[in-house]
Structure 1
Amino acid sequence: MIKTIGRNKQWIDIHPNRKAGRIRKVVHGNRETAQRIVNSLYEQYYRGVFGWPKESTTTVAMLIDLVLEDRGLKGSVGEHDVANAALWNKLIGTKPAESIKGSYLKSLAKEWMTVPQKVGGRKKLMLLEAGTVNKRIGFLMRGYQLGLEAEPKLVTAKPVWHQLKENPPKSGFVNWPDFERLRTHQPEWVQVPSTIGHWSGMRLDEVLGLERIQVTFDHNKQDVTIDLRPGETKNGEPRFITLSGDPYEVLARWEAQTLQSHPNCKYFCHRDGEKTDSIRYQWERSCVASGLGSWKNPTAKTQSLKGYEGLTFHDLRRTGVRNLRRAGVDQKTIMLIIGHKTTSMFDRYNIIDEEDVRDASRKLRGYIQSKYQNGNSGGQLVDSASPNTPPNP
């Protein structure tokens, strides 16, 4: 029996027989919704599993643990995973997993993107971008998916969530002449991490965390090798990078100075023998001085209030990927050097610009001329000028 008892409220009363028991419930929705529920219950009765679904006792924290366990088995637990786990455990960890609805996630996403938040260990409050919100909520949704795949299932459904549209990947680069000019405006202790970042594509936290024992020099070959240990990289995997030329000269000179002035210093990037924790202020000033950045409010009293915009240290990482690709290094090797585990992440950094298009045109011209001149094109290439003149693409 179905009886309407209010706006979008229906009373259902089902009793197939004495053995099956009786179900009396208020359901929210129109009469059609109630009828579908009744039909589903009768289907259960005919299968011999009649009964109102029991509420799950699974908490959000249990799903979060599943994600960490899953990524731990794959050897891919990163610092962002730990941060996301702590975030969700603090927000809703003790709540029943099936009490979390899509509307809650939507409101949370709106709050993160419109109300300044404290992110990680940063003191400055900031608005979250769509990509960061997608990663946070994606971490939680992965927990629900693992809960559905568990045997027996830990949840019966997951919240409805549609990923937000993300901004196009950033495309900042710096060419070599501009980078050289930038370094002339930096103190030497900032030149060192900048040089490593430009030539290796390493992340800033990886660079500043380098210990001297991880940087080895071969003065005969005039190269320097940087050895990143397991657990010290964002993806948790070790990698090593060998550099020569300009980076060898800059880093070898710095190491020689360190041996004389601060021989007991543990870290390669240091300031007067103390570990370099940040180069933000010096970076911003040098970028503005070299024309690679600017102040939004140049008359403000403090540098933080001036509001910097322009080249970032992470742009050196994009520059590293582009330079390696242009140098003809294969994609797999670039991914190993840079530390990208997926081609999708590599593609976000592998941005094609106008110079790449010109280079493609030059290569095409050279290919066609070579095929024509060698006479093995498989078909004669001609243009309106002369049958003996290579075409001009």
Structure 2
Amino acid sequence: MKITFETPKTVAEIAAVFLSFTPVRDPMLKSRLSFWTDRYGDKPLADLSADDVDAALAELETSPGPSGKMLSGPTINRYRMAAHSLLRFARQKRLLPRGWVSPFDHIPQHKENPGKVRFLTPDEEQRLMDAARVQSWVLLPLLIRLAIVTGLRRGALLGLTWGDVILDDSTPHVRIERTKNDDPHVSPLTPDLVQEFRRMRRIKAKDCDLIFTGKHLDRPHDFRHGFIEACKLAGIEGVTFHTLRHTSCSRLAQAGVDILQIAEHAGHRSLSMTRRYSHLCVKGRANTVNAVFAGS
């Protein structure tokens, strides 16, 4: 008997394929996609209309979230991004007709509130590293330092294997095959990281083995408790693991690195994400102004 497989067409069917083929680095992606599949799961994705999107976004804007509070504009934008990821996947897999127009076109996003970027000072970094060294998970200092130097997101770091770390090269680096934005990425390593990677690699570790594991070698270690305890011990407040990514970009901006290079370092697709560090780029702008106008 011949077995045939039908091409997925509905929102729910395509979402299921999308989640099975896509590494989920954002823990909220699945629940935000569920918002769309709960409402339009039985509808062909190609038939999703601007009115459907308007109705769903209006519901998000007027209904309390799981915490009982109204959702912020940036949070509603994250729901849009989840749907956009699904649409982009469907286009790439040719599950949508040629020339199909996204129902999100011409529906404005909420204004993002950049807020104040929290980053670690060199003194705070040193205190955090010292506190991390006395935690039970021996790889915590390496993970923290790597996050600060590379600016990589938590998911990308935890997905690293020993084969992704290139040490025997003129420019030691880690390589990410697919970032959150589905792009390949290379991050140079400092000499102290090269030395620490060599020191921490197990003798029998294979290139395909994950680096940041605990007693379970087949999955990343849940380091959250150790990180929180290290922050408390270091006397550092208002910090999450994502603060280390902000620290990486902020240090580059303070050193005079231009926005384009910082965007490349962070793997930002849009400069709008990188502009939050522009106020720290005074040194670079001052050097440019002096080079152009001094003595003129």
Q: TM-score if structure 1 supplies the norm length?
A: 0.54
Provide closer, same or farther for how the CA distance between residues 179 and 236 of structure 1 changes in structure 2, counting only shifts above 3 A.
Answer: same
1:197 paired to 2:140: no
Please list the CA deviations of residues 274-329 of structure 1 after superposition, one character each: whole Å capped at 9, or x if unmatched: 34332111111111111112xxxxxxxxxxxxxxxx21111111111122233444
Q: Which amino acid aligns with 1:116?
A: S
Aligned equivalents of 2:101, 2:188: Cα separation in 1: 48
Please list the CA deviations of residues 196-253 of structure 1 after superposition, one character each: whole Å capped at 9, or x if unmatched: 101000001111111011112238x6x6321111x3x111111112212332333332
Structure 1 contact 78–236 (Cα < 8 Å) conserved: no
Aligned residue pairs, count: 264
**Residue 268 of structure 1, CA deviation:** 1.6
Match of 1:136 among 79, 83, 86: 79
Residues 310-321 of structure 1: pairs in structure 2 closer than 5 A: 310-321=238-249
Look up the match of 1:38: none
Provide closer, same or farther for how the CA distance between residues 115 and 62 of structure 1 changes in structure 2, counting only shifts above 3 A.
Answer: closer
Please list the CA deviations of residues 21-57 of structure 1 after superposition, one character each: whole Å capped at 9, or x if unmatched: xxxxxxxxxxxxxxxxxxxxxxxxxxxxxxxxxxxxx
Q: Which amino acid aligns with 2:40?
A: I
**Residue 62 of structure 1, CA deviation:** 6.0
1:108 paired to 2:56: no
Structure 2 residues not aligned, in runs of 5+: 1-8, 92-96
Aligned equivalents of 2:243, 2:231: Cα separation in 1: 12
**Residue 194 of structure 1, CA deviation:** 0.6
Match of 1:247 among 167, 190, 193: 193
Match of 2:223 among 268, 279, 294: 279
Provide closer, same or farther for how the CA distance between residues 361 and 87 of structure 1 changes in structure 2, counting only shifts above 3 A.
Answer: closer
Aligned equivalents of 2:212, 2:101: Cα separation in 1: 48
Aligned equivalents of 1:91, 1:115: Cα separation in 2: 17
Q: Which amino acid aligns with 2:67?
A: P
The alignment partner of 1:241 has SS state of strand
1:226 paired to 2:154: no
Structure 2 contact 147–245 (Cα < 8 Å) conserved: yes
**Residue 65 of structure 1, CA deviation:** 6.1
Residues 26-105 of structure 1: pairs in structure 2 closer than 5 A: 61=10, 83=30, 84-94=32-42, 97=48, 100=52, 102=54, 105=57
Look up the match of 1:346: 274
Aligned equivalents of 2:127, 2:187: Cα separation in 1: 25
Q: Which amino acid aligns with 2:66?
A: V
Provide closer, same or farther for how the CA distance between residues 102 and 289 of structure 1 changes in structure 2, counting only shifts above 3 A.
Answer: same
Q: TM-score if structure 2 supplies the norm length?
A: 0.69
Look up the match of 2:182: 236
Look up the match of 1:19: none
Structure 1 contact 324–334 (Cα < 8 Å) conserved: yes
* Greater percentage in strand: 1
1:217 paired to 2:167: yes
Provide closer, same or farther for how the CA distance between residues 129 and 190 of structure 1 changes in structure 2, counting only shifts above 3 A.
Answer: farther
Structure 1 residues not aligned, in runs of 5+: 1-59, 70-75, 118-125, 294-309, 372-376, 379-393
Look up the match of 2:4: none
Structure 1 contact 183–191 (Cα < 8 Å) conserved: yes
Look up the match of 1:335: 263
Please list the CA deviations of residues 76-111 of structure 1 after superposition, one character each: whole Å capped at 9, or x if unmatched: 998669745554123222357567374553233333
Aligned equivalents of 1:362, 1:105: Cα separation in 2: 44
Provide closer, same or farther for how the CA distance between residues 86 and 168 of structure 1 changes in structure 2, counting only shifts above 3 A.
Answer: same
Please list the CA deviations of residues 114-143 of structure 1 after superposition, one character each: whole Å capped at 9, or x if unmatched: 4339xxxxxxxx985421312323665897
Q: Max radius of gyration: which structure?
A: 1
Structure 1 contact 201–320 (Cα < 8 Å) conserved: yes
Please list the CA deviations of residues 137-186 of structure 1 after superposition, one character each: whole Å capped at 9, or x if unmatched: 3665897xx9xxx789899x889966444433450100222111101111
